[in-house]
C-alpha cells in the first residue's frame, strides 16, 4: 500500500510539473507573438514613412557595390582620397546624360579626353570597346613622366612618336621640320639610359584592332627588349620598322652634332630582339594597353620592380579614371572642383 501511495504522489508531481511547463511555454509563445506583431507594426509604420527609392537608382547602387568595393579597398590600402571614387560616379553621370558624353574631362598639352573616350574604363560588358585608345595611353604616359619615381634618364615616347618612327616617308623628306624632328629624337635616344616605345601590333584574333606591347631600347644590355602580355602576338615586322627608324634618328643626330653616346654604337640594327619571359600575362583579350602602361612604369631594364596580376589591372582600370581627371597636368580645373566640391562624400 505504501508503494502505491508513493507512486500516486510521483504521478501527481509529474502531472503538476508538466502542467506548469505547458503554461510557461504558452506564455512564452504568446509573448513572442505579441513581440513579433509589435515589430511588424513598427516595420510597417517605418516603411510607410520612408519614400520609395527610384528603381534605376537602386539598381545602379547594387551594380556598383561589387565593383567599387574592390576600388575602395585599394584606396584604403594606399591612403588615397575618395576623390577617385567620386571621379568614377562623375564619369558615369556624364555618360548617362544627353550629350554629356562629348564633354571634355581631361585637357593637357598633348591630349584631349572626352567622357566617351574614357568609356572603356567603366564598360562592364565583354567586348572590343574595353581596349585602351591612344589618348588614354598618352595621357597616362605624360603623368608617369612627371612622377618622382621615374628617372629623368628614362625616355617614354608617346604612341604618336612611336608610329612616326615606323613611317618611311618621314626619313625621305627634305623638310626642315622633319629633319629637325629626326635630329632631336636621335639626341634624346643618345642621352637616355633607356627608352620605352608603346607599340601597337596586329592581332589576328581581332582583325584591325591592335594589341599593345612595349619595346625597350636598352644601351646597357645592347638589346631591344619586348614586353608582351599576350604571347601569341609577335609583330616582328612592326618592330623591325621601328628599329630602322630609331637608327635613322641616331645617325642624323651623330652627323649633325656629334653627340657622345651612352653606350649606343653607331648602329643598333644588329642588336638582338629579346622577348622578356615570365612577365605578368593578361587573362582577357582587352587589357593589353593597361599591362603596357604598368610594364613602362615598373621595368628597370632587367626585371619588374613590382609584380602585378590581372586582378590588379582590373582595379587599375577603375582607378585610372581619377588618375587622369585629377592629374595636375589636367587644365580642366573646373571639372576637378566639381568632383571635389559638388558631389556627395562616400563613407570609407
What percentage of the chain reaches a pLDDT higher than 70?
67
- For the chain, give the mean pLDDT: 78
pLDDT one-digit tens code per residue, 65-74: 555 555 555 5
What's the CA gap between 268 and 36, in Å, rounded? Answer: 83
Which of 116-125, 230-239, 242-251 holds the top average pLDDT? Answer: 242-251
Sign of the dihedral through C-alpha 53, 55, 59, 60: negative
Q: Could you count the other beta carbons within 10 Å of the beta carbon of residue 133?
A: 16
Of the pLDDT bands very low, low, confident and very high (cuts 50, 70, 90), residue 175 is confident
Contact 94, 121 (CB under 8 A): no
What's the CA gap between 115 and 93, in Å, rounded? Answer: 10
**303 to 41, 153, 309: CA distances (angstroms):** 66, 17, 15
Do the bridges between strand 194-202 and strand 154-156 make them parallel or antiparallel, or are there none, so unpaired?
A: parallel
Q: Which residues contact 90 (CB under 8 A, 6 or more apart)?
A: 325, 335, 338, 339, 343
Of the pLDDT bands very low, low, confident and very high (cuts 50, 70, 90), residue 33 is very low
89's grid cell: 560616379
Position 137 scores a pLDDT of 96
134 vs 41, which has greater pLDDT? 134
**First-to-last C-alpha distance (Å) of the chain:** 80
Q: Which residues contact 230 (CB under 8 A, 6 or more apart)?
A: 203, 211, 213, 281, 282, 285, 288
Question: What integer is the mean pLDDT of 188-202?
Answer: 93
Q: Please tell me the class of the 55-341 domain.
A: alpha beta
66 vs 337, which has greater pLDDT? 337
- State the Cα angle at 232 between 230 and 237, rounded to 5°: 100
Position 9 scores a pLDDT of 47
> Which 8-state DSSP code applies to residue 156?
E
Position 29 scores a pLDDT of 54
Sheet holding 154-156, edge to edge: 154-156, 194-202, 210-218, 223-227, 273-275
* Residue 271 pLDDT greater than 90, yes or no: yes
Encode burial over 307-335: b for 16+ CB neighbours within 10 A, e otherwise: ebeeeebbbbbbbbbbbbbbbebbebeeb
* Residue 22 pLDDT greater than 90, yes or no: no
Contact 86, 339 (CB under 8 A): yes
* Residue 231 pLDDT greater than 80, yes or no: no
pLDDT one-digit tens code per residue, 116-151: 999 999 866 555 578 899 999 999 999 999 887 777
Half-sphere exposure of 63 (CA within 13 A, CB side): 12
Position 195 scores a pLDDT of 97
* Residue 17 pLDDT greater than 60, yes or no: no
Half-sphere exposure of 179 (CA within 13 A, CB side): 8
* Residue 1 pLDDT greater than 70, yes or no: no
Instruction: Map out the domains of the chain as residue ranges.
Output: 55-341
Nearest alpha-carbon partner for 216 in 185, 254, 178, 242: 242
Classified as helix, coil or strand, 315 is helix
92 vs 10, which has greater pLDDT? 92
* Residue 223 pLDDT greater than 90, yes or no: yes
Contact 290, 131 (CB under 8 A): no
Position 64 scores a pLDDT of 53
Question: What integer is the mean pLDDT of 307-328?
Answer: 94
What's the CA gap between 263 and 219, in Å, rounded? Answer: 6
Q: Could you count the other beta carbons within 10 Å of the beta carbon of residue 135?
A: 19
5 vs 161, which has greater pLDDT? 161
* Residue 55 pLDDT greater than 70, yes or no: no
Nearest alpha-carbon partner for 199 in 189, 208, 209, 212: 212
* Residue 239 pLDDT greater than 70, yes or no: yes
pLDDT one-digit tens code per residue, 74-115: 555 554 557 778 888 899 888 888 778 889 999 999 999 999
Position 96 scores a pLDDT of 86
Amino acid at each position: 500500500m505504501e508503494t502505491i501511495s508513493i507512486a500516486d504522489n510521483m504521478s501527481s508531481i509529474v502531472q503538476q510539473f508538466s502542467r506548469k511547463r505547458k503554461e510557461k511555454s504558452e506564455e512564452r509563445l504568446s509573448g513572442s507573438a505579441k513581440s513579433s506583431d509589435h515589430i511588424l507594426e513598427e516595420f510597417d509604420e517605418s516603411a510607410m514613412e520612408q519614400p520609395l527609392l527610384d528603381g534605376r537608382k537602386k539598381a545602379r547602387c547594387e551594380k556598383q557595390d561589387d565593383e567599387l568595393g574592390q576600388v575602395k579597398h585599394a584606396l584604403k590600402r594606399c591612403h588615397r582620397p575618395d576623390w577617385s571614387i567620386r571621379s568614377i560616379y562623375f564619369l558615369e553621370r556624364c555618360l548617362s546624360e544627353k550629350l554629356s558624353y562629348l564633354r571634355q574631362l581631361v585637357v593637357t598639352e598633348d591630349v584631349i579626353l572626352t567622357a566617351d573616350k574614357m568609356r572603356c574604363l567603366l564598360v562592364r560588358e565583354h567586348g572590343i570597346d574595353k581596349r585602351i585608345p591612344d589618348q588614354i595611353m598618352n595621357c597616362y604616359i605624360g603623368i608617369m613622366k612627371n612622377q618622382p619615381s621615374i628617372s629623368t634618364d628614362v625616355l617614354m615616347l608617346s604612341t604618336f612618336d612611336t608610329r612616326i618612327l615606323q613611317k618611311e616617308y618621314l626619313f625621305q623628306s627634305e623638310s626642315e621640320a622633319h629633319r629637325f624632328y629626326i635630329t632631336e629624337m636621335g639626341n634624346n635616344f643618345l642621352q637616355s639610359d633607356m627608352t620605352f616605345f608603346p607599340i601597337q601590333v596586329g592581332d589576328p584574333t581581332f582583325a584591325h584592332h591592335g594589341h599593345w606591347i612595349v619595346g625597350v631600347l636598352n644601351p646597357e644590355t645592347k638589346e631591344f627588349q619586348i614586353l608582351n602580355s599576350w604571347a601569341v602576338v609577335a609583330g616582328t615586322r612592326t618592330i623591325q620598322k621601328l628599329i630602322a627608324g630609331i637608327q635613322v634618328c641616331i645617325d642624323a643626330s651623330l652627323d649633325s652634332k656629334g653627340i657622345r653616346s651612352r653606350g649606343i654604337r653607331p648602329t643598333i640594327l644588329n642588336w638582338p630582339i629579346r622577348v622578356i619571359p615570365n612577365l605578368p600575362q593578361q587573362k582577357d583579350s582587352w587589357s593589353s594597353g593597361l599591362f603596357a602602361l604598368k610594364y613602362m612604369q615598373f621595368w628597370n631594364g632587367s626585371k619588374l620592380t613590382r609584380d602585378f596580376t590581372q586582378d590588379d589591372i582590373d582595379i587599375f582600370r577603375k582607378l585610372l579614371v581619377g588618375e587622369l581627371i585629377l592629374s595636375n597636368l589636367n587644365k580642366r580645373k573646373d571639372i576637378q572642383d566639381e568632383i571635389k566640391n559638388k558631389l556627395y562624400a562616400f563613407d570609407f
